[in-house]
Amino acid sequence: MMDGVIRDVFRQFNGFPVPVSASVTAQRDFGFDLHPITRTQNLSIISDWSQCEVDRGVRLHYFQQWALLCNRRAVESVVSRGPCINTHGELLVSHSPSGARRAVVRETSTHVGHQYLEVWGYSGLEACLDLAVLNKHGKVYEDAQFACLAWSPCEEKLLYVAEKKRLRSSAQPSSASDDADSMVFEEEDKNMYMEDWGEGLVGKTASVLCVADLSKGDVTVCPGVPPHLSPGQGLWAGDSGGVVFVGWWNEPFRLGMKFCSNRRSALFYTDLKGSCELLSSDLGSVSSPRLSPDCLWLVYLQGRAFGPHHQCFCMMLYDMQNQTSSLLVDVVRRTKEGQFAGVYDSLPPRCWSSDSEWIFFSSACENRKSVFSVERHTGRVTPVLGANTGSAEFGSVKLLTIVKDLMVICCSSPNHPPCLKVGFVSNGAHLQSEQWFHLGGAEVSENFGWQSMIIAPPPEEENHQLSGVNFGAVLLKPAGSSKSVMFPLVVFIHGGPHSHFAAEWNVNAASLTKMGFAVLMVNYRGSTGFGQDSIDSLLGNIGNQDVKDVQRAVLHVLQNNKTLDPDRVAVMGGSHGGFLACHLIGQYPEFYRACAARNPVINAATLLGTSDIVDWRYSSVGLQYSFDLLPTPQALTTMLEKSPIVHAAQIRAPVLLMLGGKDKRVSPYQGLELYKALKSRNSPVRVLWYEGDGHSLSNVETQADCFLNMALWFKQHLNVK
């Protein structure tokens, strides 16, 4: 019976659709221009969604379309254009600038190993290229790090990224166009090791930029990209016929890239004829190049290489005419409560105002995610939605796209599932709540409360090199029937460590709250959204500063919320969150009653040789990294001393470990190391092993099973009826 209730709650909450992307297109007759008589605009919003279907264990993808009638930069009416349409098999989708064509990279179950580039228009399928038959490259990239599918201004060419073609060393090129730029030559030994880009990017070794010419029905691999670079995130450089892209250094060897914005990379331009030109500094990291509507300006994000795996970015502006870069928005070192805290997230694919004067973006800001604008001439940043704008309806707002000053946003709160809204914005001004039009997604809130809080560490827990840095937390509480009810508390710790819990819909937190648990999500020092000093303060202090921050947040809410039961506290987290959870039950063995950890780091010293991000293993403990660095006894000792395994003998709380058998970021044998230490001491411990899963344990069946076992574990050991 208990299993059924837990499954029903998780099925409901995990089943809410989540908007993934959106595009704005114009009507067929007048484009984006005003109707000559009515002076109105008819626009279309097309949004792609993701939805989990727990019973079948699948993640569904679909799109939904709406028609908007707009008058004088105001939305007058919104009408749905029919039911949602399943997009199964679509890897990448892109709408042409005019809105007249839709490009799709598709895989089908009927032709295994084949990928198709399809172009759809008003009259049906206009073009279809079988990329396997053309045989110019390997699989098309569809990931968030490298992938792109960009229309040329003339709408006759498409730019995308794919795996470089591989041939045996004895094979001969099939045509004159098959040269060393488009192929990787392997030795005859098919067992030769091939590097890839690590967790979530397995099998992606060497990328190439590709151009599909729809008029010719052919694909060309762009020549001239230096072999030490792996290109991605490409876009057309206006009408010049050239392409701008990000190139990542793949020598001397590749490090894991997913969740890591500190990989050496730079911005380049190629004329597609063999010439390749550097546009940015080549000593740091870059991402998110976005061209202005007038094609005169290019904005991109820039950070440093190595050090923290995620960071506060500079926003740079490149003058396409004068070929110069300038700083637009600097790194924010310290934050003031409620104010702009820096740029931490990728820019939306479309982020410019129609007059090319403003750039819009969303980013972490303390415990929230907010939308900001930056003025191109001055670099002045203005809050648009969320932080300090008076629009407190939602805890977090994410910008999906802005086209012709029509902004499409995803809104949610810890008690409100995601929904899609739309509204016009002008001159970088605030977008008030009455200007929003609801498009789709949830319209109801769950019956539990939440609060955001900022916490200052006491003097004895200050970082003496970077003092005065606060941290945050978000508390979810069930709706209590009486003041005498005391709720068990689950402390939820994010991984990273340089990531962020926004006050947004979180399926695990919401499901636990619905079941009667209070949930505390902690943004310890080192989280994003609190300035670069907060991030830097954690280097060399893992296992100490972050542990104390979490414990301080727990004590803070227990002291200020008498409905929370201090004798029934559990802790959960994944990756670095699991690392902290295991530290907490070892350092405070009498405080916590249960622990659930997903793919936790248990012994940083033994993880050194198995992780795809070996650089972070050094940086996290305060040591400098270089590619040719070899382990020393002193370095390994430092890593061991900062690891939860040194406190294993003190652990009393029952521990549930959930491990992914294919995890390349944190080896599952890290969890088994703790399992054996606890098992040998007769301490309660249970391991769930998910053979086909990686670090994120993201398969739908795995997510459901993890939650069910975690909820039962907490109910059992916190004596919840």
Residue 331 to residue 333: CA distance in whole angstroms: 6
Residue 191 to residue 25: CA distance in whole angstroms: 49
- Residues found in the chain: 721
Backbone angle region of 498, left / alpha / beta, with phi > 0 → left and psi within -120 to 50 → alpha: beta
Residue 477 to residue 518: CA distance in whole angstroms: 5
| Two structure tokens written together for 54 | 């727990």
Q: Which residues pair with 617 in a beta bridge?
A: none
Residue 68 to residue 80: CA distance in whole angstroms: 9
| Two structure tokens written together for 576 | 């670095």
Active-site entry in 309, 498, 695, 717: 695
Residues 310, 346 contacting (CB under 8 angstroms): no
Concerning whether 196 is annotated as a catalytic residue, the answer is no
Cα–chain-centroid distance for residue 2?
34
Report DSSP state, residue 281: -
Q: Which long-range contacts (CB under 8 A, 24 or more apart) does 116-124 make?
A: 117/158, 117/160, 117/212, 117/219, 119/158, 119/214, 122/28
Concerning whether 215 is annotated as a catalytic residue, the answer is no
Which whole-number Å values give the CA distances from 235 to 136, 267, 289, in the listed order? 20, 11, 8
Which whole-number Å values give the CA distances from 151 to 132, 209, 291, 412, 600, in the listed order? 21, 14, 13, 32, 42
Residue 279 to residue 326: CA distance in whole angstroms: 11
Active-site entry in 261, 413, 537, 575: 575
Residues 496, 527 contacting (CB under 8 angstroms): yes
Residue 140 to residue 164: CA distance in whole angstroms: 9
Residues 19, 441 contacting (CB under 8 angstroms): yes
Q: Residue 170 corresponds to which amino acid? A: S
- Per DSSP, the three-state class of 451 is strand
Count Cβ neighbours within 10 Å for each residue of 235-257 and write b for 16 or more, e otherwise.
bbbbeeebbbbbbbbbeeebbbb
Provide the 10 A C-beta neighbour count for residue 490: 27
Concerning whether 695 is annotated as a catalytic residue, the answer is yes
Active-site entry in 546, 549, 663, 693: 663
Q: Residue 612 corresponds to which amino acid? A: D
Q: Name the phi and psi angles at 187, rounded to 5.
A: -70, 165
Taking alpha carbons only, the member of 235, 245, 239 closest to residue 279 is 245
HEC letters along 190-229: CCCCCCCCCCCCCCCCCEEEEEEECCCCEEEECCCCCCCE
**Which sequence positions are flagged as catalytic?**
575, 663, 695
